[in-house]
Amino acid sequence: MTVTADPVRQQPAPPPDASRRLVDRVFKARELAVALVLVLILGATQLSNTEFLSEQGVKDLLLNATILVLVATGQAVVVITRNVDLSVGSVLGISAFAAGIHLRDGGSPLVAVLLAVGLGALFGVLNGALVSLGKVPALVVTLGTLYIVRGIDSIWVGSRQITADALPAGFVDFGHDGIWVLPYLALLATAVLAGVAYYLRSYHSGRDLYALGSSPEAARLAGIPVRARIMTAYVLCGALAGLAGALYLARFGNVDSATGNGYELTVVSAVVVGGVAFTGGSGTVYGAALGALLLTSINSVLPAIGVSSVWVTAINGFLLLLAIAADRILALRVAAALRKKAARTRSARHA
Amino acid sequence: MPDATTTTMAPAVRPPALARLGGAVRWDTAVGVLLLTLLVCSFSFVDNFGNALNLSFLIGNTLPIALIALPMTLLVVSGEVDLSVGSTAGLSGAVMGALWNAGMTIEAIIPLCLLLGVVCGLINGLLVTRLGLPSLAVTIGTMAAYRGIAQIVLGSDSVTDFPTQYLDFGSGRIGDTFVPYAAVPFTVLLAVAVVVLHATPTGRSLFATGAGEEAARFSGIRVKRLKLSMFVTTGLISALTGVFWALHYASARYDNATGLELSVIAAVLLGGIDFDGGKGTLGGAVAGVLLLGTLQNVMSLTNVSAQSQIVVTGVLLVISVLAPRVGRQVSEARARRRTRAAVVPPSPRTS
């Protein structure tokens, strides 16, 4: 009974491989599309305003994108597991202030950054615990923690604010300077991005996050420790939001109780525009980073070509709608193609 | 033998009775009781709470949330959500201001604004039902898009010179009572919504759709059309709220009603409407709205800072979604243990 059954089952192995490749190709194309739009927009702007891509211009583009890229990377990890973290803006604000207070009192920059990251991770643990233990919709819980963290931040900060002259000069310089056109902050963000991408692509627990997002039930039945993985995603997201807070402090040198207010929507937009689907299980952090770069570039492009900045919000919204509609149509196409392929192999087997 | 059956029967009979007792105290009833307690306490212990002026302020400030909570409840019951309500209200207010500046009469402007709300809802609904996109993603997109359009339409102007009789309607109260004029149309809308949700086939269809969309479709409910009509209704009421907002605060600005969607959703969820759809009552939703509104009013009167109020809102929101689910999980775990206890003893006998 155990020995005789197999030979017929060997044959259909290649087709899934081929379809797998098709899916892969489509999603690579998705990120290429964002990159292409980005290049087109930047190119067109450069044509109409030759100052735009000067050395300082490129540096500003990268600097503006850095913080959003970091937060979007963390958010992408959470969205891949079919959850969402709306509290990132509040966490960014409170960690930036914590780091600022530490620096103002003469602490070392490294400790300040670690403090911000730790505080972010702590709020990540809170979110992760609420989402995974309570099995409560992530949107609602993190909406609650958005309020709670913002409230705590406002009570703690009050009307105080941290300004650049209270910070050590080295820390502020770190926020502005760089190697040629590459700011240190952007290099740091790229390193973090590559690390997270490698984790998601090549580690067992990283793959689990995708499995969890594709089908939570199947993932549970396959023995994936669901709660631990959701916790990992939220802690990572919180820690990156904290790190982004510290970098925000370095970049702008100015933090008050409203820092990061409403940031969550920009972050979610960036992630979705970059091809990380709300329905979980697809997309990459590189895509999310590209989405972030695209959104912040539009912010710089509009003034450069003389369009009033009142258009920014509307354009971001339309981009988001366009991205999710395109994703949906793409997904339907892929599903149809896969079905056709499956039907063909089935009839071939019967012939 | 008889001894064994009685011991297995006894624990099996008692807990269901307890569970039924626990089940009788529904979440929305609990919120209602909480609201009553809060009202009684405030009337007796909080200075200035009971006077007509304060009560009319309370109701006037709560009305926008209460208005949108009506269609939002129906929408969430059917398993969808609309985050663009605040932006739709803002857009309708901005268009109202722009058209008024352009010299139109207010009697012509208000129907146009309502029509605009219908269009906004239609866009949301079509994207969700025809393209099959998640409503969360769509309405985050349209939230940015509508707000952006509002900003384009009105810029940073604020329009305040609406006709006096309309402004009086928006902010005045009937004689010396505490009832604002606007509470009268609200009561009518509330009655309509209660009848629709709880006493018509449409309402039953909404519950059926939220509980299981597939099953609802197979039982002959036109799910897509139903959801589309709910999105349109939500858009219409949001636009109406935008008009009311501009009159009540005597100011039409593009950023009117920013963040209103969060208050509405917090109140609706607090009122026991299940975010997954298929459960909830309008009574609960209204109780949730009034509870949040009263709490905020009382906290302002007792000099609790605005920041602490944010924390309280957040904590309430988290508790309101966490408590029922944790309760359900505990009772499920208890039920599992009980069935295991009831099933295991006889098995050695039969084998």
Instruction: Please answer yes or no on whether A136 and B321 come within 8 Å at the CB atom.
Output: yes
- Asked if B253 is an interface residue toward chain A (Cβ–Cβ < 8 A), one would say no
C-alpha B73/C-alpha B289 separation (Å) is 11
Picking from A134, A147, A313, the nearest residue to B313 by CB comes out as A147
Second CATH level (architecture) for the domain B23-337: Orthogonal Bundle (1.10)
pLDDT at position A17, please? Answer: 61
**CB-CB neighbours of A2 under 10 Å:** 5
* A314 CB-near residues (< 8 Å, 6+ apart): B144, B145, B147, B148, B149, B151, B152
Tokens of residue B129, six digits: 């039902």
ipTM of the complex as predicted: 0.77
Tokens of residue B285, six digits: 């939703």
Strand locations in chain A (E): 178-179, 182-183
pLDDT at position B351, please? Answer: 44
> In the predicted model, is pLDDT for residue B327 greater than 50?
yes
What integer is the mean pLDDT of A120-141?
A: 88
Instruction: Please answer yes or no on whether A135 and B305 come within 8 Å at the CB atom.
Output: no
Residues of B in contact with A329 (CB under 8 A): 131
Q: Quote the radius of gyration of chain A (alpha carbons, Å).
A: 22
Q: Tokens 């770190």 appear where? A: A174
Relative orientation angle of helices B85-101 and B260-270, to the nearest 10 degrees:
140
Task: Return the bridge partners of B159, or none.
Answer: B252
C-alpha A134/C-alpha B309 separation (Å) is 24
Strand locations in A199-273 (E): none
Residues of B in contact with A136 (CB under 8 A): 321-322, 325
Picking from A147, A150, A316, the nearest residue to B144 by CB comes out as A316
pLDDT at position B344, please? Answer: 59
**CB-CB neighbours of B6 under 10 Å:** 8
- Asked if B133 is an interface residue toward chain A (Cβ–Cβ < 8 A), one would say yes
C-alpha A253/C-alpha B348 separation (Å) is 73
> In the predicted model, is pLDDT for residue A112 greater than 90?
yes
Query: In B46-163, which ranges are continuous DSSP H helix?
Result: 52-77, 85-101, 106-129, 135-154
pLDDT at position A7, please? Answer: 46
Which helix H or strand E contains A178, and what residues bound it?
Answer: strand A178-179
Read off the DSSP letter of residue A166.
G
Mutation target for A interface from B310, B312, B320: give the one with most A CBs within 10 A. Answer: B310
Q: Tokens 């009263």 appear where? A: B294
CA dihedral (A198, A199, A200, A204) positive or negative = positive
* ∠ CA B132-B134-B136, rounded to 5°: 150
Read off the DSSP letter of residue A183.
E
Q: Quick check: helix, strand or coil at residue A24?
A: helix
Give the pLDDT band (50/70/90) at residue B24: low
Q: Tokens 């702008």 appear where? A: A252
For residue A79, the one-letter residue type is V
Strand locations in A227-344 (E): none
Under an 8 Å CB criterion, which residues of A touch B?
130, 134-137, 139-141, 143-152, 154-155, 257, 265, 268-269, 272, 278-279, 310-318, 320-321, 324-325, 328-329
C-alpha A109/C-alpha B258 separation (Å) is 37
Instruction: Please answer yes or no on whether A154 and B307 come within 8 Å at the CB atom.
Output: yes
Q: Quick check: helix, strand or coil at residue B277?
A: coil
Question: Which residue does chain A place closest to B329, by CA atoms?
Answer: A134
> In the predicted model, is pLDDT for residue A19 greater than 60?
yes
> In the predicted model, is pLDDT for residue A35 greater than 80?
yes
More confident residue, B25 or B249: B249
Beta strands A182-183 and A178-179, pairing class: antiparallel
pLDDT at position A4, please? Answer: 47
Give the pLDDT band (50/70/90) at residue B119: very high
> In the predicted model, is pLDDT for residue A11 greater than 80?
no
> In the predicted model, is pLDDT for residue A129 greater than 60?
yes
What integer is the mean pLDDT of B323-343?
A: 79
Q: Is B151 exposed, middle or buried (0-12, 13-18, 19+ CB in 10 A)?
A: buried
> In the predicted model, is pLDDT for residue B225 greater than 90?
yes
C-alpha A35/C-alpha B173 separation (Å) is 57
Instruction: Please answer yes or no on whether A321 and B152 come within 8 Å at the CB atom.
Output: no
Question: Which residue does chain A place closest to B132, by CA atoms?
Answer: A328
Tokens of residue B98, six digits: 């722009």
Query: Within 13 Å and on the Cβ side, how many CA atoms surround B86?
Result: 17
Give the pLDDT band (50/70/90) at residue A119: very high
pLDDT at position A159, please? Answer: 85
CA dihedral (B278, B279, B281, B287) positive or negative = negative
Give the pLDDT band (50/70/90) at residue A26: low
Query: In A158-262, which ranges are continuous DSSP H helix?
Result: 169-176, 184-202, 204-214, 216-221, 226-252
C-alpha B242/C-alpha B113 separation (Å) is 9
Go through chain B and tell me how many residues it has: 351
Tokens of residue A347, six digits: 């009839």
Report pTM.
Answer: 0.82
pLDDT at position B3, please? Answer: 43
Residues of B in contact with A321 (CB under 8 A): 127, 138, 141-142, 145
pLDDT, one tens digit per residue, over A72-93 is 999 999 999 999 999 999 999 9
CA separation, residue A30 to residues A246, A291, B26, B216 (Å): 32, 11, 47, 35
Mean pLDDT of chain B: 86
What integer is the mean pLDDT of A239-257?
A: 92
Residues of A in contact with B304 (CB under 8 A): none
- Asked if B324 is an interface residue toward chain A (Cβ–Cβ < 8 A), one would say no
Query: Within 13 Å and on the Cβ side, how many CA atoms surround B51?
Result: 5
- Asked if B163 is an interface residue toward chain A (Cβ–Cβ < 8 A), one would say no
Which helix H or strand E contains B19, and what residues bound it?
Answer: helix B2-24
**CB-CB neighbours of A32 under 10 Å:** 13
What integer is the mean pLDDT of B318-324?
A: 80
DSSP string, A293-320: HHHHHHHHHHHHTT--TTHHHHHHHHHH
Give the pLDDT band (50/70/90) at residue A13: very low
**Number of helices (H) and strands (E), helices first, in chain A?**
14, 2
Contact B70, B185 (CB under 8 A): no
pLDDT, one tens digit per residue, over B238-247 is 999 999 999 9
Tokens of residue A273, six digits: 């525009």
Q: Tokens 């530490």 appear where? A: A102
pLDDT at position A351, please? Answer: 66
Residues of A in contact with B317 (CB under 8 A): 140, 143-144, 147
> In the predicted model, is pLDDT for residue B180 greater than 50?
yes
For residue A14, the one-letter residue type is P
**CB-CB neighbours of B88 under 10 Å:** 36
Contact A130, B322 (CB under 8 A): yes
Contact A175, A185 (CB under 8 A): yes
> In the predicted model, is pLDDT for residue B140 greater than 90?
no
pLDDT at position B68, please? Answer: 96
Mean pLDDT of chain A: 86
